[in-house]
A and B are shown apart, each in its own frame.
With several copies, the nearest count.
Chain A
């Protein structure tokens, strides 16, 4: 099993999800985060004073996938979250020791 985490653009979430759903990967958990990398921040004003919000709103998705699905999922995210502009984000593939489904108590791949 793997845990795939990806930081993507909020606008792309639905496209990514649609692709995943079509590939029969329904489970997902979504975080609202703020991030900074190469993309430059947002310049705002208040009463004429400029201020900079350099941590931009980003969406993080987290998926628990079986080893065999892992590559496919990464591929799908890579394709659908891609715009080619700075700020597209990253995908992490993380090891997972075990996974348990609370409802049924199943564990491992069965828990996904």
Chain B
């Protein structure tokens, strides 16, 4: 209670001070807020704005997709809570990205480490092109925080998660984003050390998904497993999510949003490469879902619905980095591999005692790593850095040598070190201060009641869910192969 009050005081005073400081100075120092100058200079601006904005809107809807996917995979007693997290991380995160995240990411680079620029989109930033970039980047940033919420579902204190999601969107994400997309050191690996075109990540397998997944991994590790996830001998047990149909709706909405995510990342429809990107995105998702269907069918004896959904997500995450630099067949191969890796990764983390209720770490972190690396293998040298002009991104298979591959691996390592490192320290500090996890009683009662005083489905009771499913569990004789 005490820390909560303090935290809310700090936040509200911050808002107040900022608001006041803005209100005393309503000076318009804008660049081109009406857009007429921009349009006069570039007649393709209208179509490129249309493309980028529509893509940003699709990406925005992914918030709803994540809410459905994560909601469907948790128990009914924690569904209001996961809904609130998805609402809250976006609302606070977008304010954080507006306040400091955006300039940290895209401002003038300080030693390739972080950027500085117009905070709060003030002054110079009041410009149609800057605002355009902001909204597209903002919805990306929102995605990263949301991913972490999945891995930490069903046991994290809301208050703590609220702070975490703010920090991810306002600090951790933008700084790493600066390294790759803001002119930071990872993007300079090519120029400085001759490693391909430097670390490249077309739409964010690393910048978005590995960041979300890495933070989720740190969180899941520090939180520990949900009560009942492991039996007395430490063997994992099933904790079925409360609505498979909700989860599948989430998958379709996410896939839809991904067509904004990947093709939209050209930020220009005049890059006709967008059609190639749309196709690779579709095929990698299909391939991931296809192989997860077949593989779980074989392994578990049944085609597993939510794993098939996760397979789609894994395929999409993996293709996110290479989407613009590979052909259709390569997208299929990348997606197939991602789907297989994901299934094994889910089982691996589960066995290792890391409890990730929705498979966020496997789908985003692990498939994200594979996506970044696949650029170094499959990039076919027909497209450059967000432009049809060379130099072109070329991987091992197309005679690009190992330079690009090495740059990709360095990015993977830097990403994991930065994200996992900082989030681990932050979550650990929060754990020791305001606490990371709800009490045993609260967890058993369900977070809906204890964190929000509200249950998700009051017209439908589900009182026996625990005893009905978890207990009396007798390990299946014939184990999974």
Chains A and B directly touch (beta carbon < 8 Å): yes
Give the CA-CA distance A55 to B471 in the complex, in Å. 11
Contact check: which of B304, B347, B454, B471 meets A14 at CB < 8 Å? B471
A-B pairs with lowest CB-CB distance, top 8:
A57-B463, A14-B471, A49-B238, A45-B453, A46-B238, A51-B238, A46-B240, A50-B476
Contact A52 to B473, CB < 8 A, known contacts A32-B461, A59-B464: yes
Interface size class, chain B: 35 or more
Residues of B235-271 whose CB lies within 8 A of A? 236-241
B104 touches A (CB below 8 Å)? no
Name 6 interchain pairs, CB-CB below 8 A, sorted by A.
A13-B464, A17-B472, A32-B463, A48-B343, A49-B350, A59-B463
Could you tell me which A residues sit within 8 Å of B by CB distance? 10-11, 13-14, 17-18, 30, 32, 34, 41-55, 57-59
Contact B466 A48 (CB under 8 A): no
**A42 CB contacts on chain B under 8 angstroms:** 449
Contact A51 to B469, CB < 8 A, known contacts A44-B449, A46-B454: yes
Binds A, one of B33-41, B63-71, B295-303: B295-303
CB distance from A85 to the nearest CB of B (A): 11
**A10 CB contacts on chain B under 8 angstroms:** 463-464, 466-467
- Closest A residue to B474 using CB positions: A52
Give the CA-CA distance A58 to B305 in the complex, in Å. 27
CB distance from A14 to the nearest CB of B (A): 3
B359 touches A (CB below 8 Å)? yes
B205 touches A (CB below 8 Å)? no
Give the CA-CA distance A60 to B20 in the complex, in Å. 60
Contact A47 to B467, CB < 8 A, known contacts A11-B444, A42-B449: no
Could you tell me which B residues sit within 8 Å of A by CB distance? 236-241, 296, 299-302, 304, 306-307, 343, 346-347, 350, 359, 444, 449, 452-455, 458, 461, 463-464, 466-474, 476, 480
Contact A45 to B464, CB < 8 A, known contacts A51-B470, A52-B472, A53-B469: no
**A32 CB contacts on chain B under 8 angstroms:** 461, 463-464
CB distance from A47 to the nearest CB of B (A): 6
Contact A44 B453 (CB under 8 A): yes
Contact A57 B239 (CB under 8 A): no
CB distance from B349 to the nearest CB of A (A): 12
**A43 CB contacts on chain B under 8 angstroms:** 453, 476
- Closest A residue to B295 using CB positions: A48
**B306 CB contacts on chain A under 8 angstroms:** 46-47
**A45 CB contacts on chain B under 8 angstroms:** 238, 300-302, 304, 452-454
Contact A51 B240 (CB under 8 A): yes
Give the CA-CA distance A88 to B434 in the complex, in Å. 33
Contact B239 A59 (CB under 8 A): no
Give the CA-CA distance A52 to B449 in the complex, in Å. 12
- Closest A residue to B478 using CB positions: A50
CB distance from A58 to the nearest CB of B (A): 8
CB distance from A70 to the nearest CB of B (A): 24
**B458 CB contacts on chain A under 8 angstroms:** 44, 46
Q: Which of B296, B346, B463 has the most CB of A within 10 A?
A: B463
Give the CA-CA distance A58 to B444 in the complex, in Å. 15
Q: Which of A17, A30, A47, A58 has the most CB of B within 10 A?
A: A47
CB distance from A49 to the nearest CB of B (A): 4
**B452 CB contacts on chain A under 8 angstroms:** 45
Give the CA-CA distance A18 to B467 in the complex, in Å. 12
**B461 CB contacts on chain A under 8 angstroms:** 32, 34, 57
CB distance from B267 to the nearest CB of A (A): 37
**B472 CB contacts on chain A under 8 angstroms:** 14, 17-18, 41, 52, 54-55
Give the CA-CA distance A88 to B97 in the complex, in Å. 51
Contact A51 B449 (CB under 8 A): no
Contact A46 to B239, CB < 8 A, known contacts A14-B471, A51-B470, A55-B472: yes
Give the CA-CA distance A13 to B471 in the complex, in Å. 9
Give the CA-CA distance A102 to B302 in the complex, in Å. 35
Contact B299 A48 (CB under 8 A): yes
Contact check: which of B301, B359, B444, B463 meets A47 at CB < 8 Å? B359
**B455 CB contacts on chain A under 8 angstroms:** 44
Contact B467 A59 (CB under 8 A): yes
CB distance from A11 to the nearest CB of B (A): 7
Contact A47 to B346, CB < 8 A, known contacts A10-B466, A14-B467: yes
Contact check: which of A18, A34, A47, A50 meets B468 at CB < 8 Å? A34
Give the CA-CA distance A34 to B455 in the complex, in Å. 17
Contact A44 B466 (CB under 8 A): no
CB distance from A63 to the nearest CB of B (A): 16
Contact A49 to B453, CB < 8 A, known contacts A14-B467, A43-B476, A57-B463: no
Contact B463 A48 (CB under 8 A): no
Query: Given A44-B453, A47-B346, 6 more contacts at CB 8 Å?
Result: A11-B467, A13-B467, A44-B238, A46-B454, A48-B300, A58-B463
Contact A47 B471 (CB under 8 A): no
